[in-house]
Amino acid sequence: MEELLAQSQFENLVEGKIIKGTITEIRENEVVLDIGAKAEGIVPGHEFVDLGELQVGSEIEVFLEKLEDRDGNPIVSYDKAQQKKNWENILSKCEEGSIVPGRVKAKVKGGLIVNIGVDSFLPASQIDIQPPKNLDQYLGQTYDFKVLKINLERKNIVISRRELIEEQRRDKRRKLLEEIKPGDIRRGTVKNITDYGAFIDLDGLDGLLHITDMSWGRISHPTEILKVSEEIDVMILEVDRERERVSLGLKQTLSNPWDGIENRYPVGAKVRGKVVNLVPYGAFVELEQGVEGLVHITELSWTKRVGKPSEVLKVGDEIEAMVLGINREEQKISLSIRQVEPNPWDMVRHNYPVGARVRGKVRNLTSYGAFVELEEGIDGMVHISDMSWTRKINHPSEAVKKGDEVDAVVLDVDSANQRISLGMKQLQNDPWSEIERHYKIGDVVKGKISKLTSYGAFVELEHGIDGLVHISQISEEHVEKIKDVLKVGQDVDARVIKIDRDERRIGLSIKAAHYDESQLAAEAAQYDSLRGDELTSLGDILDEATNK
């Protein structure tokens, strides 16, 4: 009789139908059923909401997918039985646009499977306002969903959670726009961060918190003080109800550090701060959060020649400075680093009196003179006119070069403008004051060609004096180009044919070096007849000659 009964139950097992089974065992991840077949059916535990609600011996309905697999075991599903039973029930209760509860069942490509009585598809783009990167966080969670589309033929339902959230936000946004006003303090969540600010979710209404309204102090990027999902208190600054835009402020929720600034940092006070930024014209120093002062490049040092602030400071340095001025309206404080140290130029007139002999290294050359370092940060300047009594110096490089150790005499001290005038030629007597002792007209002298010009050649004589051989006084033969007959550095003999003490000129003649007295008198007369523009001051280097 038992065999006949079992045979009868086995014949009732039809694939694709819902059958009844008795729970014989509840394991950790599966439920074992007696469905009257040759073998027991196994239902995966995840198909049940709570395995703890099941009892051994109780009867449940399952869907028979296959009577026997390759191992002879039946394949059954509690989930599919519920879906098959509920499909018609679901269709009678919901339609496109209706709201239904559901439980997230599984993660699939492109979204989630949600059980709303039957399996439905929730696209990733419809899960939340911003598509989530991690779908695992939704597994097992229960939410309300909106039915977007029902496909009867395929028995497929597409749902959305995002549309419900957006509808809720729209309702909250309209309500908030009616309620809020400038000056209100609201709690919000950082939703997104950009280079220029952050968008704050005020529970349905997004407001812009601009970077300039985040802190009274200096920040380079919003991420320095904010992070996504962080909750903060902000002040409503502006409300545009027509465009549904709200401007927010974070620093406005705190006291303004510039209030009472004159009392905390009076002019003349010494203060300490940290260098927070370097710019070509100076350094910004943070005195406290939200309060910065500027040390202009001219206030960095009394003596150092600072080309750019980074030569003496770096960001992060702790420095001491003096307050020079405050402009509260523009929120500016002028600072000085050098003012906290004594000014070495106050002692310059004492250390370097006029007439004192000094020695220093040539630090720099300009077109008009040479700067000589007397001590660190203290330079004196030798003008080209004070380099030689006898030679006209067109550029200081003709007399000195950078790095030379030179002696000089202090000519003048201007402490207010930080200038010291030096002279090199003043160390010696002016040879022109006693020129008659050294040279007389008619003397035959020896010298070396020092420069060539288009109109003559300069000859370096003793005592540092130059004489000029006019082109007409070089040879008995006509000279077209001086460089064809004379060379720089060449030794020559010449006769003095003219001395002009007032103009500091000595005229020489090479061709007259061996003339007798009558020939010499004739040449002297011819020399006197030359035009003034042909007799340029001795030592003058024309551009043409320099270029050649």
CB-neighbour burial class of residue 155 (10 A; exposed 0-12, middle 13-18, buried 19+) = middle
Residue 232: its H or E element: strand 231-240
pLDDT of 388 reads: 85
In tens digits, the chain (548 residues) has pLDDT values of: 555 444 445 566 888 788 899 989 988 889 999 988 888 999 998 888 888 888 889 999 898 888 888 888 899 998 888 877 777 677 777 788 888 899 999 999 999 999 887 888 999 999 988 888 888 999 999 999 999 998 877 778 899 999 888 888 888 888 888 888 898 888 989 989 999 999 988 877 888 999 988 888 778 899 988 999 899 999 989 988 888 888 999 888 888 888 888 888 999 999 999 999 999 999 999 998 888 999 999 889 877 778 899 999 999 999 999 999 998 888 899 999 988 887 777 778 888 898 899 999 998 999 999 999 888 778 899 999 888 877 778 899 988 999 999 999 999 988 878 889 999 988 887 777 777 777 888 888 889 998 888 889 999 888 778 889 998 898 888 888 888 889 999 999 999 888 887 777 888 988 888 887 777 777 666 656 554 444 443 334 333 333 33
Look up the CATH number of domain 434-547: 2.40.50.140
Residue 253's contacts (CB-CB under 8 Å, 6 or more residues apart) are 185, 233, 234, 235
Q: What is d(CA 234, CA 222) in angstroms, rounded to the nearest whole number?
A: 15
CA distance 500 to 342: 52
Q: How far apart are the first and last CA of the chain?
A: 135
CATH number of 261-334: 2.40.50.140
According to the model, what pLDDT value does residue 71 have? 83
Q: How many CB atoms lie within 10 A of CB 31?
A: 24
Residue owning tokens 């029902």: 150
- 279 φ/ψ angles, rounded to the nearest 5 degrees: -130, 165
Tokens of 6: 């079992």
CA distance 320 to 340: 8
Characterize the bridge pairing of strands 419-423 and 405-414.
Answer: antiparallel
Place of tokens 């380079």: 220
The total of other beta-carbon atoms located within 10 Å of residue 143's CB is 16
| CA dihedral sign of residues 313, 319, 325, 326 | positive
Question: How would you class 57 by CB atoms within 10 Å of its CB: exposed for 0-12, middle for 13-18, buried for 19 or more?
Answer: exposed
The CATH code of domain 94-165 reads: 2.40.50.140
**Which CATH architecture group holds 180-253?**
Beta Barrel (2.40)
d(C-alpha 458, C-alpha 208), whole Å:
80
- Let me know the angle formed at the C-alpha of 250 by 246 and 256, rounded to the nearest 5 degrees: 125
Q: Which CATH architecture has domain 344-427?
A: Beta Barrel (2.40)
Distances (CA, A) of 528 to 383, 500, 519, 535: 33, 11, 15, 10
Residue 45: the pLDDT is 86
CATH 2.40.50.140 residue window(s) in the chain = 2-80, 94-165, 180-253, 261-334, 344-427, 434-547
Listed in sequence order, the residues at least 6 apart from 478 whose beta carbon sits closer than 8 Å to its beta carbon are none
pLDDT of residue 12: 67
d(CA 498, CA 513): 13
User: Does the domain at residues 2-80 carry the CATH identifier 2.40.50.140?
Assistant: yes
Residues in the chain: 548
